[in-house]
Structure 1
């Protein structure tokens, strides 16, 4: 367990991933983003693979779907790449491991949860040829949610709290976070077409996932739940046999937003929909590994502040720095204790996944 696997900014995280992949003997395929990073650096979704192209079982470990959450998943990936013993356990004829570093590199570099189009990537995997899901609850909340000034008025914050008291905390969270298509400059915008990361990820999966029989996918996120606690949130088909298989893999602590027992609300347009569509031949077993950071209200206020800054880019430099620090702290707890908890729990989840992924299909 190597706490130096974590980084302070995107460019450092990417370099550590590239160096660790090279040291482990893995080739990296870099899907370069068309825009530069905050400091002019190249942005990319970097892919490293361990194992044969025709391996029956594929373990995917992805980071940075929500850009500013990338610090956590990147640290876990680099720690694994540096661990010769873990690599040795994964070197099997029937297993391949795919590392996807920074699914949303633009958000990671610019310290935004969303991408270059203000789109929440994990709400963007929809069939855009069909009518898009409506979210009237978001429209009912938007006048309270999006501040006209920073910090937001006390009355708007109390209005959100009042909504939660009247309708329940999860109703508030669902209305805000499940995804919306009515306000391109608002929070949790899901887009009106597939974004760059969506299209790129589909191409990567077509290359690496269409020959396997079984996929186990761990997508690392932060921002919900108690500080340092990793929740196993099921992502896959909502069929009884699929959910039961998930619990047989990851135990009774596995939660499911559809069942109402997760810190996350039920969401639209998540990554698992794309995997199921792109790799229909494979049995899919997916988890969002969600690590808690700060309290829910602090995380929400960080998102509200970042949205205000998105709408007011002419803000003074000192205020920009405060807001960006606030957002970073909401999704990355830069302490040894938190990082150690991330690595310990991440290893446990991945060991369970490798064990179950390589068991004979029933």
Structure 2
């Protein structure tokens, strides 16, 4: 299908619609996804599950893994990218000896409830630490915790909170503030970017998927993890947070070109973080995996802070009624920030996804020739 048609038709309305469309697209090709059912339910009582579908030969030496909704509410572009790849004939064009594993909604609870966190209140992309070791410290977040997620959203409280955040920025700079706010923290359950106290259900699901399809036994694995919220509006930034100069990141740069950015070198819209999913992939697959987070920009960080602050406040202070006008207002703002309905944004998402998938598969093919 052409680019504009894909932009107009591939984006789902919500998690339930995304899942139904993904399953139907797979069924249309005779592919039966494996459902990893989440023990919780969605806001209207719907079943929640991660659905994983394999396209290509079972004994493929190289595998490209597509992952959606690591950050729940960011799942819409990943779902659209999967529907576009399937609907545009991607499976029929797979190079010989390669396969694609589409992991739809790795964090279905966050996707359905329009949250960035899992049902445990954990940021899945800060959860891949070794919990047998002392947990990372983030003293900057400790200072800002009550201001990032205050107990009230009244004007006076927010003004005080914003003044404290501005003062911290003045003392430590914008990068220092980003490190404190988004780098990952393990002391404040209910706060932003909380990494938890143990492996989440979603992390364990991902580990089961890696084992079930024997990805550690393949020769090479490319991972494209779809994210939103950082960078210029609509631009898809391939971020690689592998160790600089490692074979993992050098291979990613060969595949995807000079647009690959590295937070640890200061070249990215992101900053270094703890507990990232790619660290988990490295532990499981070692040097044979090259991971990029395909990060689509939306709106400025100040807007992201505002919508996340409101969402955390909502879930921290009440039993959430999905039909309550306050809930709906907050959820609309979350969805608009992380998955804008603007057609030009959606068109850019599809274009960049097609490009990255083409480059990733071509890179795998070259390396394994």
Shorter-chain TM-score: what band? over 0.9
* 2:351 pairs with 1:348: no
**Residue of structure 1 equivalent to 2:91:** 87
Deviations 1:249-300 (A, max 9, x none): 11111100111111111111111122122224x6111100000111110011
* 2:100 pairs with 1:97: yes
* 2:144 pairs with 1:138: no
Taking structure 1 as the reference length, what is the TM-score of the superposition? Answer: 0.95
**1:361 shift after superposition:** 4.5
- Following superposition of structure 1 onto structure 2, how do residues 113-192 of structure 1 map, counting pairs within 5 Å? 113-151=116-154, 153-192=158-197
The alignment covers a number of residue pairs equal to 359
Report runs of 4+ in structure 1 exceeding 4 Å deviation.
Answer: none
- For residue 359 of structure 1, give the secondary structure of its aligned residue in structure 2: helix
**1:97 shift after superposition:** 0.3
- For residue 288 of structure 1, give the secondary structure of its aligned residue in structure 2: strand
* 2:226 pairs with 1:223: no
Query: Unaligned 5+ residue runs, structure 2?
Result: none
Deviations 1:202-242 (A, max 9, x none): 01101211221001100000011111111110143433444
Aligned residues of 2:106 and 2:202 also touching (Cα < 8 A): yes
* 2:260 pairs with 1:260: no
Query: Unaligned 5+ residue runs, structure 1?
Result: none
Give the RMSD, CA atoms, in angstroms.
Answer: 1.6
Give the stretch that moved more between structures: 244-253 or 98-107: 244-253
Aligned residues of 2:263 and 2:270 also touching (Cα < 8 A): yes
Aligned residues of 2:73 and 2:335 also touching (Cα < 8 A): yes
Which of residues 3, 12, 22 in structure 2 aligns to 1:7?
Answer: 12
Aligned residues of 2:38 and 2:49 also touching (Cα < 8 A): yes
**Residue of structure 2 equivalent to 1:244:** 250
**Residue of structure 2 equivalent to 1:326:** 333
Aligned residues of 1:54 and 1:211 also touching (Cα < 8 A): no
What is the rounded CA distance, in whole Å, between the counterparts of 1:55 and 1:70 in structure 2? 27
Taking structure 2 as the reference length, what is the TM-score of the superposition? Answer: 0.93
Aligned residues of 2:248 and 2:288 also touching (Cα < 8 A): no
* 2:196 pairs with 1:203: no
**1:166 shift after superposition:** 2.5
* 2:20 pairs with 1:20: no
